[in-house]
Amino acid sequence: MRIATPIALALLVTGLFAALTEAGVTPTTKPGSAGQAAYLKECGACHFAFPSQLLPKRSWDKIMNSLDSHFGDSASLDEATKAEILAYLDKNSAETSSTKASKKLLASIGRNEVPIRITDTNYFKRKHDEVRPDVFKRKSISTAANCVACHPTAASGDFNEHKVRIPKN
């Protein structure tokens, strides 16, 4: 019994940790990483600054090299800022992350696919398969890309299922 207790505790802690990562906690990159401030400022000016670990490098490359028509809108940046942000995204892309979320997301993308929307990946779809399409269309949500509408802690990389609050309208 005396020996069993620490083992049980260790198992419990490991289990808790696994449960947490399983629930989709995507630790954000270390605050102050090179280029992070520029990323949050420039990309976050118009939309939620999505965790860089939720798309592969090839996706970030494609997105950042077509800013003149960014999903049909103009998001042009000067060359220096663009290069700084792209370097940050590449350095912190899904491939560089050890989280389950990143690994499963990568595994859900075909080798020749270059998704430019996180919401297009099978991983995202699987994780949200219980959410009806009309829920995403609610006024305060409007699009599945609006992470913070239902994940209040998304900005800190925390997508834990238990913290989800889906607005009623």
Partner 1 sequence: MMKALCVFACLCLAVVATSKQGFAAGLNAEMTGYVQGLESQAKSQDKGFKAFDAERGKKIFFETHPNAKNGPISCSTCHTPDLKKSGKTLVGKTIDPLAPSANRNRLTNAKETEKWLTRNFKQVYGREGTAKEKGDVLKFIAAQ
Tell which one of 13, 18, 34, 46 touches partner 1 (CB under 8 A).
46
Which residue, among 44, 112, 124, 42, has the nearest Cα to 84 in the 3D structure? 42
SS3 70: strand
Q: What are phi and psi of 25, to 5 degrees?
A: -85, 120
Cβ-Cβ contacts under 8 Å for 163 (sequence gap 6 or more) = 151, 152, 153
| Min separation Cβ 131 and partner 1, Å | 18
- Would you say 17 or 71 has its CB closer to partner 1? 71
Give the whole-angstrom CA distance, residue 148 versus residue 18: 24
Tell which one of 9, 65, 68, 156 touches partner 1 (CB under 8 A).
68
Contact code string over 3-42 relative to partner 1, x by CB under 8 A: ----------------------------------------
- Would you say 73 or 113 has its CB closer to partner 1? 73
